């Protein structure tokens, strides 16, 4: 089992460009999450999903959109990237809302 995978691993964007980060899990988890991690800080939740076709806002959702068209995939979109979105993005999944979360390896995004 691959667990949670993320693509791409690295990306450099110019301000105003758009991109989509892909997260995939093969554990049949209902719950999936997108976080960002900035230096010296813990994870902050961007959006999450409690099942196929459902999404909800987290702590810092502005500037991001998400979609969960298939149970195993959770996409994070940046429509118009800004330098403030330079960060490391982590995807995670879990069996239920109160169980441990399994994390992907992260995507390091730089917006110039």
Partner 1 sequence: SQQGEEDPQALSIQEGENATMNCSYKTSINNLQWYRQNSGRGLVHLILIRSNEREKHSGRLRVTLDTSKKSSSLLITASRAADTASYFCATDWGMDSNYQLIWGAGTKLIIKP
Contact 28, 71 (CB under 8 A): yes
Angle at 60 between CA 33 and CA 107, to 5 degrees: 50
Contact 6, 106 (CB under 8 A): yes
Least spacing, CB of residue 9 vs partner 1, in Å: 10
Nearest to partner 1 of 85, 89 (CB atom):
89
Nearest to partner 1 of 85, 107 (CB atom):
107
Least spacing, CB of residue 60 vs partner 1, in Å: 10
Nearest to partner 1 of 18, 57 (CB atom):
57
Distances in Å between the Cα of 42 and the Cα atoms of 54, 90, 105 are 25, 12, 16
Nearest to partner 1 of 38, 79 (CB atom):
38
Least spacing, CB of residue 90 vs partner 1, in Å: 6
Q: Which residues would be at the binding site for partner 1 (CB under 8 A)?
A: 4, 40-45, 48, 50, 56, 58-59, 90, 92, 97-106
Least spacing, CB of residue 15 vs partner 1, in Å: 25
Cα distance between residue 93 and residue 18, in whole Å: 24
Strands (E), 38-81: 43-51, 54-57, 65-67, 73-78
């Amino acid at each position: 089992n691959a667990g949670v995978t993320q693509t791409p691993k690295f990306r450099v964007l110019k301000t105003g460009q758009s991109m989509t980060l892909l997260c995939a899990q093969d554990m049949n988890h209902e719950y999936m999450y997108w976080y960002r991690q900035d230096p010296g800080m813990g994870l902050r939740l961007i959006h999450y999903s409690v099942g196929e076709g459902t999404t909800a806002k987290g702590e810092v959702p502005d500037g991001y959109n998400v979609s969960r068209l298939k149970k195993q995939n959770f996409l994070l979109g940046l429509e118009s990237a800004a330098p403030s979105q330079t960060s490391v993005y982590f995807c995670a999944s879990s069996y239920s809302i109160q169980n441990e979360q399994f994390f992907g390896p992260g995507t390091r995004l730089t917006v110039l």
